[in-house]
Amino acid sequence: MSRKLTLGILWLSFLIPFGVLIYLSFSTQWFYPSLVAHPFTLEYWHSFFEGRSGLFQSTGLSVFISLTVSSFATAGGFFISRGIAYYTSSRWWLVSAYFPYVIAPVVLAVMLNHYFLQIGLSGTIVGVMTAQLLITLPYAVIFFYGFWNQNIRNFENLVDTMGGDFIQKMRHAILPSAKGLLVICFFQCYLISWFEYGLTQFIGVGKVETLTIMVYRYVAESNPYLAALAGTLLIIPPIILLFVNRKFIFQKGWSL
């Protein structure tokens, strides 16, 4: 009985936060100590879909930034990790790829801000994407490093000795084995970018209004209802990914 109770508490402690978040997005007033919000309304959702709240644009911008960042990070990480695995022998190359990834992104942004200001990237979408790439790219390099094992090398050598060029090696020897990992890496980089707040806020100086920026802005404006709506929008893609494939969410990429 006590086991069932403990499990029940665990279920509730995980599900209630989701419930509260979604419930708040359907409210406009919720005075203490009432347990039920009045009125229960679709007003904010309507304004979202009609593009009145600015959240619609933020969602589009977030999707655009995350898709672009994860595409570049996945492609770049894939080829760079191949080079590091094949052409270097010191382990320090891989270890150094962890450095930008383990430092808090916001601290990295602080330390880099001077250069972003100098080249005029501060406060721009390109600047935010560049900054996000600085953490997602090393992540992708680490992610793919283990892929380049002896078996893949042998495959490449085989195509090589049969007269195949780089494109043919990619098409026949590498991509068929890598496509599953490429998809997982793409979505994990997507989520790193999608979840990012501190670095985006600092490099974007509040002008690049992604969904995470909007959550904080609404909290600061004491509008928990719109913050909840933005928060709900933020959890939709990861929830979908969770149901499609758990591997998109569970980051196992520590090649220690």
Partner 1 sequence: MTKKLIITLFIALILLPLGLALGYSFLYSIGAVGLLSDGLTLEHWADLFRGEFLSSILYSLWVALASAAIALGLALIFLFTLRNQFEKPGTYRLLFLPLTIPPIVVGFIIFQMYSGSGVLSRLFYHAGVVSGAQEFPVLVQDPYGIGIILAHVFIVFPFFLLVMLNVYKNENLNEIGRVASSLGAVQKTIIWKLHLPILMRGLFPLLILYVIFFMGAYEIPLLLGQSSPQMISVLILEKLQRFNLGDIPVAYSMAVWYALICIIAISFLLIKFRKKRAI
Partner 2 sequence: MIEVKNVSKSFGGEHVLKDIEFEHPRHQTLSILGESGSGKSTLLKIIAGLVSGYDGQILLDGTAVDHLKPRDRGAVYLYQEPLLFPHMTVEDNIAFGLEIKGKSLDTIERETERMIGQLKLNGQSQKYPHQLSGGQKQRVAFGRAFIIHPKILLLDEPFASLDPGTRQEMQVLFKEIAEKEKITSLFVTHDLKEAVMTGDRFGMMINGKLKVYENRDAFIKDSGTGVKKEIEFWKNLK
With contacts defined by CB under 8 A, name the span among 45-53, 63-71, 97-105, 148-156 that binds partner 1: 97-105
Q: Which of 162, 222, 246, 256 binds partner 2 (CB under 8 A)?
A: 162
180 is an interface residue for partner 2 by CB under 8 A = no
Interface residue with partner 1 among 1, 50, 114, 162 (CB under 8 A) is 114
Query: In angstroms, what is the minimal distance from the CB of 3 to partner 1?
Result: 6
Is residue 132 exposed (0-12), middle (13-18) or buried (19+ Cβ within 10 Å)? buried
Residue 161 interface partner, choices partner 1, partner 2, none, CB cut-off 5-8 Å depending on type: partner 2
Distance CA 48, CA 57 (A): 9
Following CA atoms 84, 86, 87, 92 in sequence, which dihedral angle do they give, to the nearest 10 degrees? 40
Q: Is 160 in the site for partner 2 (CB under 8 A)?
A: yes
Does 239 engage in binding with partner 2 (CB under 8 A)?
no
Near partner 1 in 51-70, by CB under 8 A: none
Q: Pick out residues in 120-159 that bind partner 2 (CB under 8 A).
A: 151, 154-155, 157-158
Nearer to partner 1, 107 or 126 (CB): 107
For position 173 contacting partner 2 by CB under 8 A, the verdict is yes
Which of 105, 47, 99 is closest to 223 using CA atoms?
47
State which amino acid sits at residue 85.
Answer: A
Residue 189 in contact with residue 73, Cβ under 8 Å?
yes
Name which of 192, 179, 177 is nearest 138 in CA terms. Answer: 192
Given a contact cutoff of 8 angstroms between Cβ atoms, the answer to whether 190 and 67 are in contact is yes
56 interface partner picked from partner 1, partner 2, none, CB below 5 to 8 A per type: none
- Whether 30 contacts 94, CB under 8 Å: no
* Cβ nearer to partner 2, comparing 160 with 209: 160
Dihedral sign (CA 106, 107, 110, 115): negative
Count other Cβ atoms within 10 Å, centred on residue 6.
Answer: 10
Instruction: Give yes or no for a contact between 148 and 86, defined as CB atoms under 8 angstroms apart.
Output: yes
**Smallest gap, in angstroms, from Cβ of residue 168 to partner 2?**
6
Contacts (CB under 8 A) with partner 1, residues 185-244: 194-195, 197-198, 202, 212, 215-216, 219, 224, 227-228, 231, 234-235, 238-239, 241-242
Residues that bind partner 2 (CB under 8 A): 151, 154-155, 157-158, 160-165, 168, 172-173, 176-177
